[in-house]
Amino acid sequence: MDPYRLPRHVLPTHYDLRLEPDLQTCSFSGQETVTLTVCEATREILLNAIELTILSASLVNDAGQKLVPVVQLEEATERCLLMFSTPVAPGTWKLQLAFQGTLNSKLRGFYRSQYKDPSGAVRLLAATQFEATDARRAFPCWDEPDFKAVFAPTLAFAPELTAVSNTAIVGETIQDGKKIVRFADTIPMSTYLVAFIVGELEATEPTFIGRTPLRVWCVPGKRRLARFGQEIGAFSLGLYEQYYGRAYPGDKLDLLAIPDFAAGAMENFGAITFRETALLVDDQAATHAEQERVADVVAHENAHMWFGDLVTMAWWNGLWLNEAFATFMEMLAVDAWKPEWQRWTTFGVSRAAALAVDGLHSTRPIEYPVAAPHDADAMFDVLTYEKGASVLRMLEQYLGPEVFRAGVRAYLQRHAFGNTETGDLWRALGDAAKQPIPEILDGWVFRSGYPLLSVRLEGDRLVLTQQRFAYLPFDADDEERKQRWRVPVQVRLTANGKTSTQRLLLEETETRLDRPAGFESVLVNEQGHGFYRVHYATDLLERLLRVPDDLAPIERFNLVNDCWAATLAGLMPLQAYLEVTAHFRAERDKNVWTVLTSSLVALNRIIRTEDRPGLEALVRDRAGAAGAELGWLARPGESELTRQLRGDLLRTLGTLGNDQDIQAKAAELYAAHLHGSAAVDANVLAAVIAILAHTGGAERYDEFWRRFRSATTPQEEQRYLYALAGFREAELLENTLAKTLSGDVRTQDAPFVVQKLLMSVYGRDLAWRFLKDHWDEMNRTFPTTGIRRMCDGVVGLATPEYERDVRNFFEQRRIDLGGKTLQQYLEQLHIAVRLRQREERVLHEYLVSFAQA
């Protein structure tokens, strides 16, 4: 039997839960009465608990029987065993437990968060983060998603504080100098969705969506930053009620910004918690990307109220049922809210991130076995979220949006308050579509990887073939390489100046289309919804590159992205890729620039130091014209996407391109901004800060540090903090590294600073040594999710010498980041090193010619 799973002969139905957090002593005490259905006579009851002290336990029933068990905590499996001297008879029992614990600093379970009030004094609040398996750190419970039960919490705390939980308050009294707040019963739900937040909190006035009041909560002094989040919160909730055909299932909805928060946000039912940058924003002073982040996260969490909270996966292997849907719905809602943001086009960047990981041998299927808690935590990755959402989008486009929605409604209707497997979703969608879904989708969800579609001309035919894409070659006998998919393909043919679309389901290895008379070009994956890559024969690629403007932005994005992937995989020579980039000097879509720039950043990590001026010249050659045309000033009436692109290009030119004119102008503009004599667009200001870090010395460093400490919005704070990783002088970067463990930087952010330094060609050597020297301290201090993200930075250590050292370190320390996370990082590192070894000479010659030009 799996030591991490609980037996099913005892089922909780109701938790009466009372918790008393004490912010002075950073501890809490608790009592609970759990109503249980005992299905068969037993001498043992098993539930989950960890880092709790159980003070007393007893079991009673309506007949007045009382049994007192021996309690044994099993630390390794995070379980609590209750052993009874006589068998507990089948029927209904009430388990009464008293316990106590610590408000920890690790941002999980019931934890403490620190902030400064408007006067500068340090304050604490208590908050919870239970997903995946940390409710057991706050109260003993059946901590698996299919043990759904009703929760009736009561909180007792110092009277000057406020408390929020999943439901509305039904009673409030003062007893023995404490405020006692009782909350309404929840819907039947999983333990990981329970939440308590206690502190000096402020709320906005509610917005009503039907009868549901929606508020934003924050620590004192930040309410002015709540409007934007509240707007998208209200908009998306209303949209989902219509889309799902089902009212919001709770009695209120609170969105809470928590100063210390390990993840981005958490969909606790009715009490969603966020890190501050994901909820609070001054939309006049924020970049487009910063606003989009808030809109995305709020819309995502709201979508979970149905997908995840009302209907929940039965076990963590099915996490995608929650996360892929919430990600898909987030796009849908933000796209409806701000159509001018073109959210589905920008989604291409997320899809590309999933394609990158899913092209590794160490990838995993979207659905993947999970046993231990740290493997459940590792499921929160791009495969669950972005690949899952991409596959749903591909299916939605294939079935049609109306049919897809009808299937989603049926699924929610059938399984409300229950738990599901992927098969349940297939059935609901299949009923709506009147066709079997598993045949199309099983290959995308239960198998890893995706196809590469190769396209070539052969006489009067166009030939399409599929094979599994991988960055590194398969062994000849590897069965995975033979995998085939049912691929919904949309092809656009241009002939005699006219275009036509063909839709097909590619099932075999190869398919042939007629080459039309007057053939000009063929584009595979029209509109870009497919989760696959396309590799064109050279002549077909040239035909597309001749008129890039004939392609939609997402199609251009995919074209460049697939060429870059082919280069990494050794299917396209690097020189050919560099020539592809030369066709995009006139590009005006920010997503296309994102992929162009990130490929140049990757090259910067594998070049010889003496080639850097050549690379800088190459960057200026590719991005210079677009940057010059957009200039520094936002123009009235231009789109937010253009404003973001302006910032992105300036940043690229001023840092990676080392453009001295841009650097000088950035310094000038920044000074004018500080004196209040220039209104600088937020997107430009963010770029200017990055550029000034790149060129800055000790004085600038100290200034940015002060500005980080005195920032008035979460976004401003983050900009200056990350800028501290963007300097080039070793001494300054050592300073930044030291600060990550000094208590001056929040533990929610510090791992990301280290990650950025590992990715920086100026910081990676220092950061890698620092990581090795301080590994144990980092593990004691940083949240586990932060450690996992931080280690992603080793991909930046792209030399054979570093690679050996990285492998040795992780092996010798026996480090496991959960699931396949570490193998994925190491494989990505190896791919970069191989590119270096394969192309170093060609790249050197190419860049020498640029440096001389």
Q: Ramachandran region of residue 518, left (φ > 0), alpha (ψ -120 to 50) or beta?
A: left
Contact 114, 124 (CB under 8 A): yes
**What's the N-to-C CA distance of the chain in angstroms?**
69
Assign 3-state DSSP to the chain and report helix, strand, coil percentages, each to 5: 45, 25, 30
Shortest approach of Zn ion to residue 681 CB, angstroms? 32
In whole angstroms, the minimum distance from the beta carbon of 469 to Zn ion comes to 27
Cα-based distances in Å from 589 to 346, 553, 594, 595, 771: 10, 6, 9, 11, 37
183 and 153 in contact (C-beta within 8 Å)?
Answer: yes
Q: Select from 190-198, 325-333, 590-598, 820-828 the region that touches Zn ion (CB under 5 A).
A: 325-333
Q: Is residue 303 reached through a cis peptide bond, with omega within 30 degrees of 0 on the bond before it?
A: no
Nearer to Zn ion, 38 or 321 (CB): 321
Choices 131-139, 322-330, 798-806, 813-821 (CB under 5 A): range interacting with Zn ion:
322-330
Span near Zn ion by CB under 5 A; candidates 166-174, 318-326, 650-658, 707-715: 318-326
> Binding segment for Zn ion among 213-221, 323-331, 514-522, 699-707 (CB under 5 A)?
323-331
In which element (H, E) is residue 34 found? strand 27-38
Nearer to Zn ion, 326 or 723 (CB): 326
Asked if 496 and 518 count as a contact pair (C-beta separation under 8 A), the reply is yes
Q: Select from 307, 229, 239 the least CA-distant residue to 267.
A: 307
Residue 326 or 394: the one with the smaller Cβ distance to Zn ion is 326
- Provide the token pair at 196: 């308590």
SS3 call for 346: helix
CB of 237 or CB of 326, closer to Zn ion: 326
Cα 449 to Cα 470: distance, rounded to the nearest angstrom: 8
Cα–Cα distance measured from residue 185 to residue 735, given in angstroms and rounded to the nearest whole number: 50
> Is residue 452 a contact partner of residue 467, using CB atoms and an 8 Å limit?
yes
Nearer to Zn ion, 329 or 493 (CB): 329
Query: In whole angstroms, how close is the CB of 300 to Zn ion at the nearest point?
Result: 5
Shortest Cβ 304–Zn ion spacing (Å): 6
Q: Is 52 or 132 the residue whose CB approaches Zn ion more closely?
A: 132
Asked if 366 is part of the footprint of Zn ion (rule: CB under 5 A), the reply reads no
Amino acid at 447: R
334 or 453: CB nearest Zn ion: 334
Give the shortest CB-269-to-Zn ion separation in angstroms.
13
CA angle, 244 as apex, 196 and 312 as ends, to 5°? Answer: 45
Interatomic CA distance for residues 397 and 503, integer angstroms: 11
Q: Quick one: DSSP state of residue 465?
A: E
The stretch among 46-54, 316-324, 604-612, 681-689 that binds Zn ion (CB under 5 A) is 316-324
Distance CA 335, CA 327 (A): 12
- In the bound state, the residue with its beta carbon closest to Zn ion is 326
Minimum distance from residue 328 beta carbon to Zn ion (Å): 11
What is d(CA 439, CA 458) in angstroms, rounded to the nearest whole number?
31
Cβ contact 265:274 at 8 Å: yes
Q: Tell me, residue by residue from 238 to 277, as one string, x for binding to Zn ion by CB under 5 A and - for no binding.
A: ----------------------------------------
Q: What is the DSSP code (8-state) at residue 187?
A: P
- Rounded to the nearest 5 degrees, what angle is found at the Cα of 201, between the Cα atoms of 198 and 207? 115
List the beta bridge partners of residue 215: 254
Task: Show the tokens assigned to 486.
Answer: 């049912």
> For Zn ion, which stretch binds (CB under 5 A), given 138-146, 321-329, 498-506, 527-535?
321-329
Which tokens hold the place of 292? 């989009």
Q: Six-digit token pair at 419?
A: 């738990």
**Least separation, in Å, of the C-beta of 434 and Zn ion?**
31
Question: Is 301 labeled as catalytic in the residue annotation?
Answer: yes
Q: Which of 225, 326, 440, 523 binds Zn ion (CB under 5 A)?
A: 326
Work out how close the CB of 199 gets to Zn ion at its nearest, in angstroms, rounded to a whole number. Answer: 24
Long-range contacts of the stretch 605-608 (C-beta < 8 A, 24+): 605/759, 605/761, 605/796, 605/798, 605/832, 606/798, 606/799, 606/832, 606/833, 606/835, 606/836, 606/839, 606/840, 606/843, 607/843, 607/844, 607/847, 608/840, 608/844
Element (H, E) at 487: strand 487-495
In whole angstroms, the minimum distance from the beta carbon of 58 to Zn ion comes to: 38
Mark the segment that binds Zn ion (CB under 5 A) among 319-327, 504-512, 613-621, 746-754. 319-327
Q: Based on CB atoms, which residue is closest to Zn ion, 326 or 682?
A: 326
Least distance to Zn ion, CB of residue 331, Å? 13
Residue 735 neighbours by CB under 8 Å, 6+ apart: 701, 724
Nearer to Zn ion, 328 or 557 (CB): 328
3-state secondary structure of 644: helix
Q: Rounded to whole angstroms, how far apart are CA atoms 96 and 19?
A: 14
Q: How far is the CB of 823 from Zn ion (least distance, A)?
A: 24
Quick one: which segment of 246-254, 287-295, 320-328, 811-819 binds Zn ion (CB under 5 A)? 320-328
Catalytically annotated residue among 32, 267, 292, 301: 301
CA 327 to chain centre: 9
Q: At its nearest, how many Å lie between Zn ion and the CB of residue 322?
A: 6
Q: DSSP code of 385?
A: I
Task: Pick the closer one to Zn ion by CB: 131 or 792.
Answer: 131
For residues 323 and 803, which CB has a smaller minimum distance to Zn ion in the complex? 323
Give strand pairing partners of 116. Answer: 122
Q: 282 vs 296, which CB is nearer to Zn ion? A: 296
Q: How far is the CB of 564 from Zn ion (least distance, A)?
A: 29
> How many other CB atoms are found less than 10 A from the CB of residue 359?
24
Q: How far apart are CA 526 and CA 540, in angstroms?
A: 15
Beta partners for residue 80, in sequence order = 47, 73
How many residues touch Zn ion (CB under 5 A)?
Answer: 2
Q: Specify the stretch interacting with Zn ion by CB under 5 A; choose among 166-174, 315-323, 396-404, 544-552.
A: 315-323
CA 279 to chain centre: 15
Which candidate, 192, 89, 111, places its Cα nearest to that of 144? 192
Which is nearer to Zn ion, 323 or 659 (by Cβ)? 323
- Residues forming the active site: 301
Residues in contact with Zn ion by CB under 5 A are 323, 326
